[in-house]
Each structure stands twice: as C-alpha cells, then as structure tokens.
Amino acid sequence: GIQVEQSPPDLILQEGANSTLRCNFSDSVNNLQWFHQNPWGQLINLFYIPSGTKQNGRLSATTVATERYSLLYISSSQTTDSGVYFCAVERKRDDKIIFGKGTRLHILP
Amino acid sequence: KAGVTQTPRYLIKTRGQQVTLSCSPISGHRSVSWYQQTPGQGLQFLFEYFSETQRNKGNFPGRFSGRQFSNSRSEMNVSTLELGDSALYLCASSRLATYEQYFGPGTRLTVT
C-alpha cells in the first residue's frame, strides 16, 4: 500500500525559529491535508493542498504531486505551535485516507 | 457554524462489552469518516459513510461497524471489546466524499 513518510520525527526549536516539515508519499494521491494535533488530541486543519502553494499567516505549504512530496513551513515559531503535525493523503486508487506518523514539534520559550 | 461533535468524550469499558460512539458532522456535510489513534499504530482509517452508505472501509475486524443516518449523524460500534481497542476514536466530516476533512475532538476509550 501507499507509504506516507514524515520527517523529521521530532524537532526541538527555540521560539522565533523557522522550520520545514516534509511529507513524502509513494503513490498517486487525490489530495493531501496537513493537520496540527494539540495536546488535547484535537486535529486542527492547516491546509488542504493537493498541489501548489498556500499561505496562512506564519504557515505555508507546498505540494509537488508529480514528485510526491509536500512541505510545511512554520516561520517565527511560537510555543503554541508545539504539538504533532500530520500529513494525510487520499490514495487515488481507492480513495482511502492514509496518515503519516507525524512530526512532533516542541518550541522552547 | 458549529464544528464536529462527538459523544461521549471519555468512556471506560470492560473487556467483552460493546460500545457505541456518536458523531454529529458539520451542518451540510454529508461524509463522515472514523479513525482510530493509538501510540503504536498511529492514526488508522476505520470507515467512511456518505449519504448513509459505507463508501470505504479500512483493515479492521468485523467487530468494528458503523452506520450513518439520514441527517448525516453517524455511529460506530465495537463489539466484544479487547484491551487493544483502547484508543482515541476520531470522527471527521466533509462536505462531499474525497474532500477536505474536519475533525471532532474525539472519544477516548479505555478498555480494562
């Protein structure tokens, strides 16, 4: 089945730093989403980005579907950015949603 | 617009019992998907319902079942609970199938 690999698995940064999270997928997909899971378990939508680039405040994302990867950029990190970031893809051949294992981000004050 | 709601938020059950979890999607959303999250396996897709029909199913045993009502609300049922069923169960809704998903807060199930 499709593999969704996220890197790095863990990231510790100082407040104010920038970071890039990566999501690689091994097969054709219909779409891709990025989520942030807060400490209480709530998954928060960040981007729905099957292709191209989107920006929302300090966050932006780029998906290059032909090369099977997506990047999530976080600039000027804040402690509230801490948590786990997931990418999820919808597999083209059967429309199932597959999640990566996430990147755990810890922002130090 | 209200978000996705799930009830109950926390549940403790005994091995062998059954449990029913409920999910109310965002108004106007017709697709509801269910996921199981555990520390070992991560987030895994259980099933998706669209217009009261199961559209997709993950690789879970038949003890896991679900349904969707005409108002798009969905329930999932787990019968003969096992210790390994302890997990956070997340529901997501989307306006259409194969579209942007919005998640509820989850139901944390503990099986003792």
Over residues A20-38, the pLDDT tens digits come to: 999 999 989 999 999 999 8
**Cβ neighbours of A33 in B, within 8 Å:** 100-101
pLDDT for residue B97: 72
* The two structure tokens encoding residue B55: 């559209």
Ranges of residues in chain B whose predicted pLDDT is under 50: none
**Cβ neighbours of A35 in B, within 8 Å:** 103
C-alpha span between B25 and A15 (Å, rounded) = 36
B43 and A31 within 8 Å at the Cβ level: the answer is no
> Among all residues of chain B, which has the CA nearest to that of A30?
B98
pLDDT for residue B74: 98
C-alpha span between B93 and B3 (Å, rounded) = 9
pLDDT for residue A1: 66
A30 and B90 within 8 Å at the Cβ level: the answer is no
Evaluated on CA atoms B84, B88, B89, B95, the torsion sign reads: negative
**Cβ neighbours of A32 in B, within 8 Å:** none
Render pLDDT for A30-76 as a digit per residue (tens, 0 to 9): 999 999 998 888 999 999 999 999 999 999 999 999 999 999 999 99
B102 and A30 within 8 Å at the Cβ level: the answer is no
B103 and A102 within 8 Å at the Cβ level: the answer is no
pLDDT for residue A80: 93
* Short-list B38, B101, B91, B98, CA closest to B67: B91
A42 and B106 within 8 Å at the Cβ level: the answer is yes
C-alpha span between B6 and B103 (Å, rounded) = 10
> Among all residues of chain B, which has the CA nearest to that of A97?
B45
